[in-house]
């Protein structure tokens, strides 16, 4: 049973972390499993679904648009879909909470249905840019009225039949790619997305798994994904692998706390997601893959991570898309490395749940870490393995990854670190503090 997450939490330095843990299901895959099941005809079963607030917002939205969704005592989710084209007009606005993925992917689904849907969200989500999806969905014929700056609340009036398009992504975003592909599912003809830089490919894998006619080719301009519209999706049994973005916190924690030896089971290692493992290994981390296997069509392994002394690196820019959500955790790792780590080429961090460059700069600096800000990242000079000073209270800014990263930093600090509001952690990792306790970490609530 997960701890209720109180607002304020203080993290005490840990002696060492030890044990075996299993992280919850992958958030990206969980959203997609619910969405595609909800537009297949018949009953799909989903095992290992992440039961975090973001994914529950997707489940509530799919119910509001006609799907029947239940969770059995066996923790298996059963979804009866309405068929592509069968989504119903929801009675009220859809509240997407803190979840960018729910919002942008569902805007795509709605865009090619003959329904009108209003999307709302919390203060963080209401500050995030939606023009990146409004633009292509507008080309497909959807009529979208947004708040100033292309923000939430916004209303999507779908067009059916929608216009299939060929769209080249102006920003490396799996959410934009997926929004266009999902809209294309109910458009007559072929919808194409060209991505100059490859991003996570869970949508492509799962759409093909549900029976959509989808092809991926490499062209001179990038990866070209083509989907045939007016598709018939067949219900599936899906097993969701563990989330590498959640495993990231424990990989870094075990690496930086002396004497640690941790096994993280069932971690998804899809190459479009595994950039942090590569970056940490370049820094000298000790990460061993055990029992490599395939779960739900995705590569998975158990990761044994032992304490190691890290060295600063110039993080290769081409890793950015495959570790985009892991930068806050990487910044923490860099804080304990020998010498300088330069992590740039990640300007997308500015438009996540918070401005992750500015917020991590403030949080680390307040705890004695030497950081320099760039428009597209941070340069961090680490301690060479010694504890950081700690002692400050940091603001999580409605951002789960900031909160979890600073919990990890607090495990190897001279003085305890307090996070003003840990409740956003429930969006992606409801049992985070249970796992901290399992490994021997110490937190004081309230």
Query: Residues 342 to 371: which contact ligand S3P by CB under 6 A?
Result: 348
- Nearest residue by C-beta to ligand PEP? 100
Structure tokens at 68: 């029947």
Among 30, 98, 173, 427, binds ligand S3P (CB under 6 A): 173
* CB contact at 8 A, 107 and 162: no
Q: Please identify, using beta-carbon distances, which residue of 260 and 428 lies nearer to ligand PEP.
A: 428
Structure tokens at 97: 């909470």
* CB contact at 8 A, 259 and 16: yes
* Contact of residue 348 among ligand PEP, ligand S3P, none (CB under 5-8 Å per partner type): ligand S3P
Which one of 42-50, 71-79, 149-157, 174-182 is the stretch in contact with ligand S3P (CB under 6 A)? 174-182
* Contact of residue 113 among ligand S3P, ligand PEP, none (CB under 5-8 Å per partner type): none
* CB contact at 8 A, 148 and 128: no
Q: Which residues bind ligand PEP (CB under 6 A)?
A: 54, 99-101, 325, 352-353, 401, 428
User: According to the annotation, is 28 in a ligand binding site?
Assistant: yes
Residue 185 DSSP label: T
Give the list of residues 6+ apart from residue 340 with CB closer than 8 angstroms, or none: 312, 379, 380, 381, 382
Q: How far apart are CA 36 and CA 205, in angstroms?
A: 12
* CB contact at 8 A, 143 and 160: no
Nearest to 65 by CA among 131, 144, 118: 118
Q: Please identify, using beta-carbon distances, which residue of 178 and 396 lies nearer to ligand S3P.
A: 178
Minimal distance in Å, beta carbon 141 to ligand PEP? 25
Q: Please identify, using beta-carbon distances, which residue of 101 and 239 lies nearer to ligand S3P.
A: 101
Q: Residue 122: how many CA atoms within 13 Å on its side-chain side?
A: 16
Minimal distance in Å, beta carbon 241 to ligand PEP? 16
Q: How many CB atoms lie within 10 A of CB 231?
A: 22
User: According to the annotation, is 352 in a ligand binding site?
Assistant: yes
Query: Residues 62 to 101: which contact ligand S3P by CB under 6 A?
Result: 101
* CB contact at 8 A, 83 and 211: no
Q: How far apart are CA 226 and CA 237, in angstroms?
A: 24
* Contact of residue 178 among ligand S3P, ligand PEP, none (CB under 5-8 Å per partner type): ligand S3P
Which residues are designated catalytic? 325
Residue 113 DSSP label: S
Nearest to 270 by CA among 296, 305, 235, 237: 296
State the chain's maximal CA–CA distance in angstroms. Answer: 61
Tell me which H or E stretch contains 207.
helix 202-209
Structure tokens at 65: 């648009």
Q: Please identify, using beta-carbon distances, which residue of 329 and 364 lies nearer to ligand PEP.
A: 329
User: According to the annotation, is 356 in a ligand binding site?
Assistant: yes
Q: Please identify, using beta-carbon distances, which residue of 201 and 421 lies nearer to ligand S3P.
A: 201
Q: Please identify, using beta-carbon distances, which residue of 231 and 360 lies nearer to ligand PEP.
A: 360
User: According to the annotation, is 100 in a ligand binding site?
Assistant: yes
Minimal distance in Å, beta carbon 10 to ligand S3P? 27
User: According to the annotation, is 27 in a ligand binding site?
Assistant: yes
* CB contact at 8 A, 85 and 113: yes
Q: Please identify, using beta-carbon distances, which residue of 39 and 411 lies nearer to ligand S3P.
A: 39
Q: How far apart are CA 243 and CA 359, in angstroms?
A: 23
Size of the site for ligand S3P (CB under 6 A): 10
Give the SS3 label for residue 374. strand
Give the list of residues 6+ apart from residue 332 with CB closer than 8 angstroms, or none: 252, 256, 364, 405, 406, 408, 409
Minimal distance in Å, beta carbon 128 to ligand S3P? 9
* CB contact at 8 A, 443 and 407: yes
Tell me if 112 contacts ligand S3P by CB under 6 A: no
Minimal distance in Å, beta carbon 81 to ligand PEP? 22
* Contact of residue 79 among ligand PEP, ligand S3P, none (CB under 5-8 Å per partner type): none
User: According to the annotation, is 177 in a ligand binding site?
Assistant: no
Minimal distance in Å, beta carbon 435 to ligand S3P? 20
Among 110, 324, 388, 406, binds ligand S3P (CB under 6 A): 324
Q: Which residues bind ligand S3P (CB under 6 A)?
A: 28, 101, 173-175, 178, 200, 324-325, 348
Binding residues for 3-phosphoshikimate: 27-28, 32, 173, 175, 325, 352
Annotated binding site: 27-28, 32, 100, 128, 173, 175, 325, 352, 356, 401
Give the annotated binding-site residues for phosphoenolpyruvate. 27, 100, 128, 175, 356, 401
């Amino acid at each position: 049973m997960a701890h209720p997450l109180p607002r304020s939490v203080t993290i005490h330095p840990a002696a060492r972390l030890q044990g075996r843990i299993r992280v919850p299901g992958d958030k990206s895959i969980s959203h997609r499993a619910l969405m595609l099941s909800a537009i297949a005809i018949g009953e799909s079963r989903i095992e290992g679904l992440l039961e975090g607030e973001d994914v529950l917002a997707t489940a509530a939205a799919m119910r509001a648009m006609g799907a029947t969704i239940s969770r059995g005592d066996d923790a298996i989710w059963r979804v009866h879909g309405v068929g592509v084209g069968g989504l119903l007009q929801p009675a009220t606005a859809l509240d997407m909470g803190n979840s960018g993925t729910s919002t942008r992917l569902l805007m795509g689904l709605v865009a090619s249905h003959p329904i009108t849907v209003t999307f709302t969200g919390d203060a963080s989500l209401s500050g995030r840019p939606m023009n990146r999806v409004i633009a292509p969905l507008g080309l497909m014929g959807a009529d979208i009225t947004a708040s100033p700056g292309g923000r939430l609340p916004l209303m999507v009036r779908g067009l059916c039949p929608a216009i299939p398009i060929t769209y080249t992504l102006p920003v490396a975003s799996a959410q934009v790619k997926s929004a266009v592909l999902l809209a294309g599912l109910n458009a007559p003809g072929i919808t194409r997305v060209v991505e100059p830089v490859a991003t996570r490919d869970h949508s492509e894998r799962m759409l093909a798994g549900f029976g959509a006619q989808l092809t991926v080719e490499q062209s001179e301009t990038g990866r070209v994904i083509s989907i045939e519209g007016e598709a018939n999706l067949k219900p599936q049994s899906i097993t969701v692998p563990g989330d590498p973005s959640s495993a990231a916190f424990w990989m870094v924690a075990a690496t930086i706390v002396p004497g640690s030896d941790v096994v993280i089971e069932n971690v998804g290692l899809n190459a479009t997601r595994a950039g942090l493992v590569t970056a940490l290994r370049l820094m000298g981390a000790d990460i061993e893959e055990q029992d490599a296997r395939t779960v739900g069509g995705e590569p998975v392994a158990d990761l044994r991570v032992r304490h190691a002394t890290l060295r600063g690196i110039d993080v290769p820019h081409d890793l950015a898309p495959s570790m985009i959500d892991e930068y806050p955790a990487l910044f923490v790792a860099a804080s304990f490395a020998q010498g300088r780590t330069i992590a740039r080429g990640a300007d997308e961090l500015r438009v996540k749940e918070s401005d992750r460059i500015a917020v991590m700069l403030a949080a680390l600096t307040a705890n004695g870490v030497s950081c320099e800000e760039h428009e597209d990242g941070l340069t961090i000079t680490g301690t060479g393995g010694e504890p950081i000073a700690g002692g400050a209270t940091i603001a999580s800014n409605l951002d789960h990854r900031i909160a979890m990263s600073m919990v990890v930093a607090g495990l190897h600090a001279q003085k305890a670190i307090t996070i003003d509001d840990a409740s956003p952690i429930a969006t992606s990792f409801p049992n985070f503090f249970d796992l901290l306790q399992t490994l021997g970490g110490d937190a004081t609530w309230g």
